[in-house]
């Protein structure tokens, strides 16, 4: 249900719900003075100042590519979830078909290493046999349809989701995919690192095919075939930056139009095998030119090449759930080579994560009973309402936005749906059968259940109660087609959200995250969706020009940052997240300032004013150590800037920060007024 309240009521909620604790934090809660490096000036490098001592003393656990506050929350959540799953796996009284039985048996099957080693790839035998029997292009299309119904197979990606230009309707969507490397640029760049990584990927594919039974020579030839096919798909793919334009990836076609766009591929055979009802004639094709190339490849390439490609993607998709040789080789490339992670996570953590991926809301029900109280949900909702009121006030006073657009922006803000902690209605897993017989079979069964559940949405009203993350997830999101902000229980834990901390720290930490997600509704992508979630222009031409001139300053600022000497941040790729960081921080600070009105001002704590504690709470929540390989992967593929730049970037644009720490004009943490983007 959407929350639609007037601006007057929002302000009333804002002023009346600010009775959060203004008392000093409990010992060990709030900011951590021991993390601060006093040898660094706050106005020179605030990230290093706030976290430097922690960084000098800290190490990245060998099973992780990076380490920081988010990982600390994640680890604590894992401990809670482990207890839940071990109890469920030991249970002898859980009724068959209950969520306790399903999560317990899924976890137990994943922990049964002896059975997994004995089975090897046998649970996949029928799929490999089908691939080996392919003869003509029609066979290829039908087999891809069968594999996609199990979320396997490569080639391209499909999803059932809301139509961007008709937010009251679901539509079947197709998008580019089919690659084993993280992004199309990994196949197309000619720098030494990219060439070296492609060589390592070739070796990895060959090793995996050898484990499947190929001779070393045959595996090398087949790996070369896979690379050639994936390179063709990559060259036909849009860049990540180009895909940030929602209109550039909106192409509504009929089935007949797709067949004309991408001849050579038997689309009707594919749709029938994938389970798409014949009544669904409209499709959303994100990258039509990609599918033109796919059709040409289906027509031109020998079926033996496609058999090699499908064999590779089947083993690639299932390797983490198979016997130890496959698990080890998969980790050697994707964990060690790509991320720089020395060791795998303990098996129980990997199986736990996969249980969450397969049965997230079943496991989530059990998690919130232990880890997230109704009182915590109420307090988090209070914070959201406070931030929403602050954003509304800010919209009203924007000098660059015209009055008609302000009114529409306020309508959109009031229409935000807010989801806190966990769903009001839990997902029904009754059609999903889970046993202790086979780990990989359970994973595929869960994939198939989700595919069927998604297809069943077609032709039905939008389910506004649905969540895109499970309750234990340490993350948050804004969904433009639902115009909703979502904060799972997993992230609403210390140090991001701590009821025993002082207000300043909570506003700086989780308050910024809340503001970040809210301002996504008005970033360079979100501003193209209206209050109902439709991709529809609602800004005046003057607003658009004013906004673009300001976002150009954001692009320029982040283009200049270099996390690695040879690798700058891509300001266009990270634009939306950088805008949301800047806006979220400004809105959170405004809400915090409002919270102190009408009450005695809090004194200093640990020698820091409330404003200083706000900014320290923010910076310490983003403390981070990252391996260089992982940092390179993030800069190449992640629309978020690395953590260090998520702190120094926004803060250097905020006069409020400079005032709090007495930073003079010209200090490294104070950008010149002419270079400072003033969006919010």
Closest C-alpha among 478, 538, 481, 464 to residue 167: 481
Pair 438, 119: CB distance under 8 Å: yes
Query: Domains in the chain, ordered, with CATH?
Result: 31-60+374-417+494-675 (3.40.390.10), 124-321 (1.10.1380.10)
Pair 321, 111: CB distance under 8 Å: no
171-199 pLDDT per residue, tens: 999 999 999 999 999 999 999 999 999 99
Q: Rounded to 5 degrees, what are φ and ψ at 50?
A: -70, -30
6: pLDDT strictly greater than 90: no
Question: Of 581, 611, 624, 629, which is the active-site residue?
Answer: 581
Q: Which residues contact 281 (CB under 8 A, 6 or more apart)?
A: 254, 255
Question: Of 150, 214, 356, 517, which is the active-site residue?
Answer: 517
Taking the CB of residue 559, how many other CB atoms lie within 10 A of it?
14
Pick 595 or 250 by higher pLDDT. Answer: 250
Residue 28 has a pLDDT of 66
Residue 356 has a pLDDT of 98
86 a catalytic residue: no
Residue 491 has a pLDDT of 96
> How far is the C-alpha of 585 from the C-alpha of 589, rounded, in Å?
6
**SS3 state at 88:** helix
552 a catalytic residue: no
126-140 pLDDT per residue, tens: 999 999 999 999 999
Closest C-alpha among 455, 127, 110 to residue 316: 127
> Beta partners for 282?
254
Q: Which residues contact 184 (CB under 8 A, 6 or more apart)?
A: 176, 233, 234, 235, 237, 238, 239
Angle at 228 between CA 227 and CA 230, to 5 degrees: 65
55: pLDDT strictly greater than 90: yes
Taking the CB of residue 503, how many other CB atoms lie within 10 A of it?
25
272-314 pLDDT per residue, tens: 999 999 999 999 999 999 999 999 999 999 999 999 999 999 9
Peptide bond into 295 cis (omega under 30): no
Q: What is the pTM of this model?
A: 0.93
């Amino acid at each position: 249900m959407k929350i639609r309240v007037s601006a007057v009521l929002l302000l009333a909620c804002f002023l009346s719900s600010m009775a959060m604790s203004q008392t000093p934090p409990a010992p060990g809660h709030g900011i951590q003075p021991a993390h601060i490096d006093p040898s660094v000036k706050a106005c020179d490098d605030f990230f290093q100042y706030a976290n430097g001592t922690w960084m000098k003393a800290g190490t990245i656990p060998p099973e992780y590519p990076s380490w920081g506050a988010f990982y600390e929350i994640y680890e604590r959540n894992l401990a809670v979830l482990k207890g839940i799953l071990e109890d469920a796996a030991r249970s002898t009284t859980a009724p068959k078909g209950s969520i306790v039985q399903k999560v317990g048996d899924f976890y137990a099957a994943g922990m049964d290493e002896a059975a997994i080693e004995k089975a090897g790839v046998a649970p996949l035998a029928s799929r490999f046999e089908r691939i080996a029997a392919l003869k003509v292009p029609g066979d290829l299309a039908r087999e891809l349809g069968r594999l996609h119904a199990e979320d396997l197979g490569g080639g391209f990606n499909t999803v059932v989701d809301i139509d961007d230009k008709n937010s009251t309707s679901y539509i079947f969507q197709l998008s580019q995919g089919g690659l084993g490397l993280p992004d199309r640029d990994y196949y197309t760049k000619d720098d030494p690192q990219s060439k070296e990584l492609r060589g390592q990927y070739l070796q990895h594919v060959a090793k995996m095919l050898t484990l499947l039974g190929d001779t070393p020579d045959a595996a090398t030839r087949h790996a070369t075939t896979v690379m050639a096919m994936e390179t063709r798909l990559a060259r036909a793919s849009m860049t990540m930056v180009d895909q940030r334009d929602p209109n550039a990836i909106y192409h509504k076609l009929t089935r007949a139009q797709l067949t004309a766009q991408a001849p050579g591929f038997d689309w009707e055979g594919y749709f029938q095998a994938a389970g798409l009802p014949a009544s669904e004639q409209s499709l959303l094709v994100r990258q039509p030119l990609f599918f033109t190339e796919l059709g040409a490849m289906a027509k031109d390439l020998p079926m033996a090449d496609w058999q090699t490609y499908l064999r590779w993607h089947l083993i690639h998709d299932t390797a983490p759930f198979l016997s130890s040789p496959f698990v080890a080789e998969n980790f050697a490339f994707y964990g060690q080579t790509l991320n720089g992670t020395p060791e795998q996570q303990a098996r129980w953590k990997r199986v736990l994560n996969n249980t969450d991926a397969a049965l997230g809301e079943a496991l989530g029900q059990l998690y919130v009973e232990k880890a997230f109280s109704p009182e915590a949900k109420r307090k988090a909702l209070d914070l959201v309402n406070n931030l929403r009121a602050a954003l509304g006030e800010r919209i009203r006073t924007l000098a660059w936005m015209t009055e008609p657009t302000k009114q529409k922006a306020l309508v959109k803000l009031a229409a935000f749906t807010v989801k806190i902690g966990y769903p009001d209605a839990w997902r029904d897993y009754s059609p999903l059968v889970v046993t202790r017989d086979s780990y990989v079979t359970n994973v595929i069964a869960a994939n198939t259940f989700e595919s069927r559940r998604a297809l069943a949405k077609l032709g039905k009203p939008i389910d506004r109660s649905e969540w895109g993350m499970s309750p234990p997830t340490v993350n948050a999101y804004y969904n433009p087609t639902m115009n909703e902000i979502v904060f799972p229980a997993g992230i609403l834990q210390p140090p991001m959200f701590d009821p025993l901390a002082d207000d300043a720290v909570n506003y700086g930490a989780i308050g910024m995250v809340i503001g970040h997600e809210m301002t996504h509704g008005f970033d360079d992508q979100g501003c193209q969706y209206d209050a109902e979630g439709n991709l529809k222009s609602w800004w005046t031409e003057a607003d658009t020009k004013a906004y673009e001139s300001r976002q150009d300053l954001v692009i320029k600022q982040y283009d200049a940052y270099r996390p690695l000497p040879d690798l700058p941040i891509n300001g266009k790729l990270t634009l939306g997240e950088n805008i949301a960081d800047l806006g979220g921080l400004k809105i959170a600070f405004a809400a915090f300032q409002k919270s102190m009105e009408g009450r005695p001002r809090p004194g200093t704590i640990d020698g820091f004013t409330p404003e200083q504690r706000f900014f320290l709470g923010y910076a310490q929540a983003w403390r981070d150590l990252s391996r260089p390989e992982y940092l390179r992967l993030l800069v190449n593929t992640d629309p978020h800037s690395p953590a260090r730049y998520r702190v120094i970037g926004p803060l250097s644009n905020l006069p409020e920060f400079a005032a709090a720490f007495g930073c003079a004009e010209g200090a490294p943490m104070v950008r010149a007024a002419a270079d400072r983007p003033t969006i919010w």
